[in-house]
């Protein structure tokens, strides 16, 4: 009996020690669990510090499929930091379609891969939309073909001969031989192969940028239609993924998308060098050549904000603050994946100052 009593006493002592140790550890463990529950995990809690003034509400953003990945990245970060009380929707039907919605007051922000046109600005003004243009990044337009195609470099005159209004109904690359030679092309005669065009449609800012930057430079010299210098007999795509599929699906394809999207698919497509002049320097699109404008098909990217909505929707101002500051660099440079994105503006402080003045 004495031996049994000693064992019981020992067990009770061990239980008391264990209980004391558990009570000392519990507060720390409980704190970790409650932190994850309230903030969505450690990463969300850390991200929450990046948003100075979290707001709840709804925000609707549309427009450019090129800018969409940047804005979607900012939206994901904002919601992760501030919670799902902020409902932010982002889609990318195209810059022109986005401006239609924006000028009708149906969206709060329009993503754009080109500057607003005069007629769009007038439509917005007539509808009472207070337009604020904010430049956010740089991009290049990548001209692409299939890796099986032997062509390495095209000049502006080649792109006009193959894609311009005077190439309407050309079914083969070689159909453009005479026009290319007339314009001084060093590349013509072109391959005797089917010309399969996979490119943006009319709703896309990337479509409009190809016209503005490349085709309008040649159309007057070529005696083409200056009001509509691009062929209309191909099926344009609003979805960049479908354009990539078209390029990979034909060994004699030709098309274009924003550089960042082409770079993200560089294992599947061949990105061509471009020369502004026949016989000129062939330049590959890279972050460096786009930034210093030596790549001749470079452009700016924008977001357009309806300032009239800011007073009634605090989320709008908070989101744009976050967009241009804490979320900016990562969302621009890594829009698609780590190291795959767009080029940050060297003059981003000018955009920030413009935004602060507008607020």
Residues in the chain: 359
Q: Which residues touch 348 (CB under 8 Å, ≥6 apart)?
A: 136, 324, 328
CATH of the domain at 327: 3.40.190.10
Whether residue 210 is found in the same domain as residue 307 = no
Q: What does the block give as tokens for 136? A: 């956010």
| Helix-helix angle 314-324:348-358, to 10 degrees | 160
Half-sphere exposure (Cβ direction) of 224: Cα atoms closer than 13 Å: 26
Does residue 341 or residue 10 have the better pLDDT?
341
**Is residue 73, in this structure, part of any structural domain at all?**
yes
Confidence of residue 52 (pLDDT cuts 50, 70, 90): confident
pTM for the full model? Answer: 0.74
Question: In sequence order, what are the beta bridge partners of 303?
Answer: 111, 134
Whether residue 225 is found in the same domain as residue 269 = yes
State the pLDDT at residue 174: 98
Q: Poorest-confidence range of 47-61, 140-154, 261-275?
A: 47-61
Number of folded domains that form the chain: 2
Place of tokens 């590349």: 187
Report the alpha-carbon distance of residue 86 to residue 79 in Å, rounded: 6
Whether residue 157 is found in the same domain as residue 134 = no
In order of 33, 61, 132, 182, the CA distances from 316 in angstroms are 32, 10, 13, 53
Whether residue 65 is found in the same domain as residue 101 = yes
Whether residue 219 is found in the same domain as residue 273 = yes
Report the alpha-carbon distance of residue 250 to residue 260 in Å, rounded: 22
Whether residue 335 is found in the same domain as residue 289 = no
Whether residue 243 is found in the same domain as residue 347 = no
Q: What does the block give as tokens for 226? A: 């200056």
The closest alpha carbon to 249, from 286, 198, 190, belongs to 198
Does residue 4 or residue 248 have the better pLDDT?
248
C-alpha R_g of the chain: 28
State the pLDDT at residue 50: 78
Could you say which of 282, 298, 314 is where a domain stops? 298
Q: Which residues touch 42 (CB under 8 Å, ≥6 apart)?
A: 35, 36
Distance of CA 61 to the CA centre of its chain: 13
Q: What does the block give as tokens for 343? A: 């080029």
Whether residue 97 is found in the same domain as residue 218 = no
The closest alpha carbon to 110, from 58, 60, 70, 73, belongs to 60
Place of tokens 């600005």: 121
Mean pLDDT of 48-68: 88
Residue 15, pLDDT > 60, answer: no
Q: Are 135 and 323 in contact (CB under 8 A)?
A: no
Provide, for the chain, the percentages of residues in helix, strand and coil under a 3-state DSSP scheme, each rounded to the nearest 5: 45, 20, 35
Average pLDDT, the chain: 87
Could you say which of 268, 298, 328 is where a domain stops? 298
Q: Which domain holds residue 278?
A: 140-298
Whether residue 159 is found in the same domain as residue 291 = yes
Report the alpha-carbon distance of residue 317 to residue 264 in Å, rounded: 31
Q: Are 192 and 150 in contact (CB under 8 A)?
A: no
Tens of pLDDT, residue by residue over 283-300, are 999 999 999 989 999 999
Whether residue 144 is found in the same domain as residue 272 = yes
Report the alpha-carbon distance of residue 292 to residue 255 in Å, rounded: 24
Residue 9, pLDDT > 60, answer: no
Whether residue 289 is found in the same domain as residue 145 = yes
State the pLDDT at residue 3: 44
Question: In sequence order, what are the beta bridge partners of 141?
Answer: 258
Q: Are 199 and 211 in contact (CB under 8 A)?
A: no
Tens of pLDDT, residue by residue over 297-351, are 999 999 999 999 999 999 999 999 999 999 999 999 999 888 888 999 999 999 9
Confidence of residue 76 (pLDDT cuts 50, 70, 90): very high
């Amino acid at each position: 009996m004495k031996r049994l009593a000693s064992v019981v006493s020992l067990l009770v002592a061990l239980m008391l020690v264990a209980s004391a140790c558990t009570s000392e550890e519990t507060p720390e463990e409980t704190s970790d669990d409650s932190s994850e529950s309230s903030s969505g995990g450690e990463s969300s809690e850390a991200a929450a510090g990046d948003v100075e003034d979290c707001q709840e509400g709804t925000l609707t953003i549309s427009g450019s499929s090129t800018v969409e990945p940047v804005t979607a990245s900012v939206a994901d970060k904002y919601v992760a930091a501030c919670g799902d009380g902020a409902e932010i929707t982002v889609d990318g039907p195209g810059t022109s379609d986005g401006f239609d919605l924006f000028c009708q007051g149906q969206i709060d922000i329009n993503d754009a891969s080109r500057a607003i046109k005069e007629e769009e600005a007038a439509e917005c003004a007539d509808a009472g939309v207070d337009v604020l243009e904010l430049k956010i990044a740089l991009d290049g337009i990548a001209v692409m073909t299939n890796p099986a195609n032997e062509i390495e470099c095209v000049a502006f005159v080649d792109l006009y001969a193959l894609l311009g209004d005077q190439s309407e109904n050309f079914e083969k690359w070689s159909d453009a031989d005479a026009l290319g030679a007339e314009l001084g092309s060093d590349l013509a005669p072109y391959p005797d192969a089917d010309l399969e065009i996979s490119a943006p449609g009319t709703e896309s800012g990337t479509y409009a940028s190809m016209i503005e930057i490349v085709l309008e430079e040649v159309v007057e010299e070529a005696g083409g239609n200056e009001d509509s210098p691009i062929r209309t007999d191909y099926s344009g795509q609003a979805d960049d993924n479908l354009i990539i599929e078209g390029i990979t699906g034909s060994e004699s394809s030709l098309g274009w998308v924003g550089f960042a999207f082409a770079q993200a698919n560089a294992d599947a497509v061949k990105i061509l060098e471009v020369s502004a002049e026949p016989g000129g320097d062939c330049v590959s699109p890279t972050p460096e050549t786009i930034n210093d404008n030596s790549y001749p098909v470079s452009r700016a990217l924008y977001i357009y904000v309806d300032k009239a909505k800011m007073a009634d929707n605090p989320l709008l101002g908070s989101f744009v603050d976050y967009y241009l500051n804490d979320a900016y660099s990562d969302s621009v440079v890594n829009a698609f994946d780590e190291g795959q994105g767009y080029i940050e503006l060297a003059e981003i402080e000018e955009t920030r100052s413009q935004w602060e003045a507008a607020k």
